[in-house]
A and B are shown apart, each in its own frame.
Chain A
Amino acid sequence: MKLDVIRSIWPWLFLLSMSVFFEVWAQLAYDTSFLFNLFNIQSILTFAAAPLLLGIGVTFVIIAGGIDLSIGFAMGFAAVVFATITSSLGGQDPLVALFIGVIATMLIVMVPGMINGWLIAGLHIPPFIGTLGMYGVARGLGFIVADGVTVPVNNPILFQLGTIKIFGLIPIPVLITAIVVLIAHFVLSQTRFGQYTYAIGGNREAALRAGINVKRHTLLLYMISAGFAGLAGLIYTARFSAGAAQAGEPLLLDSIAAVFIGGASFFGGSGRIFGTVIGALVIAIIQFGLVFVDVEPFWQFLAVGIVIIVAVLVDQSRTRISNGGK
């Protein structure tokens, strides 16, 4: 019982300690506030949006005992597909071009998700290997579609969506991410789909015996993961008015770190959307905080890498304790 309490508190502790750490640093070194600054908060939330979107999708997969390493390049693939389609419709009404671009991209990005699901659920390839293969495939396809360059989009509506702030306060990518977070939380905690995701991660055999269609469910999970990568790709393209195949490359690490900081278990069966939200905020605070206090950006990768290792170590020791020291 105590363990479950620790499991739900520890992401908050992590968030608090990181916030205090950078606040103190900013106060001491620059005599300014890190957190009580609207621009910083907006930047942190915007920073957090893309890894959080990827993280939400992969939270579903990780709860069910899987992993999806292809999300970063699936995001880049989606970004260049979206940019290519939308800019090729440049002669059309901008709204029509945008609409077709969004629908077509979301459909196309489902394909790598379906293939992942089929490899894992149908052909019993370990998720780590199957999605690592797809990492390579999506990466290659992204650069092929983009012809190795960044694909610019000149769509006024998309530009607006990527840059304006609601009431001058909330960036649209942040708003979209917040809505998606609420929907994902609802699905995971209140619906049968969510319940079966936990059941499959807890005991696949019991789920099968209870009549749950584990194969179909697994396929859907990897499609959800790809769908979130697609959404992240759309938002990236909106923010920068361009699609790039490497858009999501550094985000694989960030998003999976967010899930584990958020209290999900590497062994499956546990994890929460709001945990992943906090995890993504922790990562964004570390990254933006290091920039803010003027540390070389390369240190970010090192810091996030260490954070993943710590999170998984904590998870392992928790699991050991709950297994009675075995």
Chain B
Amino acid sequence: MLEVKGVSKHFGGVKALNNVSMNLQAGEVLALAGDNGAGKSTLIKIISGVHAPDTGSLAYQDQPLHANSPLQARNLGIETIYQDLALADNLDVGANIFLGREPMKSFLGMTQIIDRQRMLKESREVLHSLDIEIPESSLEQPVRNLSGGQRQAIAISRAIYWNAKLLIMDEPTAALGVPEQRKVLELIDKLRTQKIGIIFISHNLNDIFAASDRILILRQGRVVGESKISETSREKVVSQMVSG
């Protein structure tokens, strides 16, 4: 579903990406690994429309991809989940899932008001479809009262509800406790069965080995390793990350 061909990107004199190629199938989880400054974030920012590549090309669902903004990428179904920026803590689950796209209903035929009943109902359905457990009593509470993992799950459900086909997750487990990390990994598994393509950045090799199908290793802006997760080992990945 995503094909990146020979992409390079400079920032001033720094070559952040150098002739990087990669691809992703629907229902596949690809881990992006590499040390700080290896080019992981530049690569996902190019895919999600934040930066344009200097050279090279991208194709998404067999069409050339020229997203000039994150909004444009999102309209095509490419959604990035950031750790902390996703939710308004003071709003409830439904309000967050529908933020900016609230369903409206008529009020006495005079004006339009937010249809909270429908937001609640559809939020419940999307959470249910992803096996996300949030107690009924918490659905109408500000999401600040929920755990980090639950909030992460809400951000993901929001993307899925709005038809994301390609999810980019930047360190989705970094700020979570161990049981919560496990929940997020289970959710990634669930998304895979729903044919969502996932690019997943992590520093945590345990997570990478638990959740992904394939790993792409970057070092100083180049691809230095790519293999199925079943055909590599932690030792090999670490050695590629540090010495290429």
**How far is it, in angstroms, between the C-alpha of A191 and the C-alpha of B104 when the chains are bound?**
9
Task: Name the distance in Å between A280's Cβ and chain B's nearest Cβ.
Answer: 23
Q: Is the CB of B113 within 8 A of A191?
A: yes
Q: Which residues of A contact B91 (CB under 8 A)?
A: 195, 198-199, 202
Partner of B86, one of A196, A198, A206: A206
Q: Which of A107-115, A131-139, A207-215 contacts B (4 or more CB under 8 A)?
A: A207-215
Task: Name the distance in Å between A264's Cβ and chain B's nearest Cβ.
Answer: 11
- Flag B80-92 by CB within 8 Å of A: 1 or 0 each: 0000011111110
| B111 closest partner in A (C-beta) | A191
Partner of B145, one of A1, A199, A211: A1
- Flag A28-72 by CB within 8 Å of B: 1 or 0 each: 000000000000000000000000000000000000000000000
**How far is it, in angstroms, between the C-alpha of A209 and the C-alpha of B49 when the chains are bound?**
13
Q: Which residues of B contact A190 (CB under 8 A)?
A: 107, 113-114
Interface residues on B, range: 20 to 34
Question: Among residues 82 to 106 in chain B, which have CB atoms less than 8 Å away from a CB atom of chain A?
Answer: 85-91, 95-96, 99-102, 104
Decide if A205 is an interface residue (CB 8 Å cutoff): yes
Partner of A203, one of B85, B102, B114: B85
Decide if A101 is an interface residue (CB 8 Å cutoff): no
Q: Is the CB of B142 within 8 A of A4?
A: yes
Question: Among residues 53 to 100 in chain B, which have CB atoms less than 8 Å away from a CB atom of chain A?
Answer: 70-71, 85-91, 95-96, 99-100
Q: Which residues of B contact A206 (CB under 8 A)?
A: 85-88, 96, 99
Interface residues on A, range: 20 to 34
Q: Which residues of A contact B89 (CB under 8 A)?
A: 202-203, 269
Q: Is the CB of A198 within 8 A of B90?
A: yes
Q: Which residues of A contact B10 (CB under 8 A)?
A: none
When A195-B102, A202-B91, A270-B90 are in contact, do A322 and B114 touch as well, CB less than 8 Å? no
Q: Is the CB of A207 within 8 A of B99?
A: yes
Q: Which residues of B contact A322 (CB under 8 A)?
A: 144
- Flag A302-322 by CB within 8 Å of B: 1 or 0 each: 000000000000000000001
Q: Is the CB of A198 within 8 A of B141?
A: no
Q: Which residues of B contact A212 (CB under 8 A)?
A: 99-100
When A190-B114, A195-B114 are in contact, do A203 and B145 touch as well, CB less than 8 Å? no
Decide if A124 is an interface residue (CB 8 Å cutoff): no
Question: Among residues 20 to 75 in chain B, which have CB atoms less than 8 Å away from a CB atom of chain A?
Answer: 70-71
Partner of A202, one of B88, B107, B111: B88
17 pairs, CB–CB < 8 Å, chain A vs chain B: A1-B145, A4-B141, A191-B114, A192-B114, A195-B114, A196-B100, A198-B91, A203-B87, A203-B90, A207-B88, A207-B100, A210-B100, A210-B101, A211-B71, A211-B100, A212-B100, A322-B144
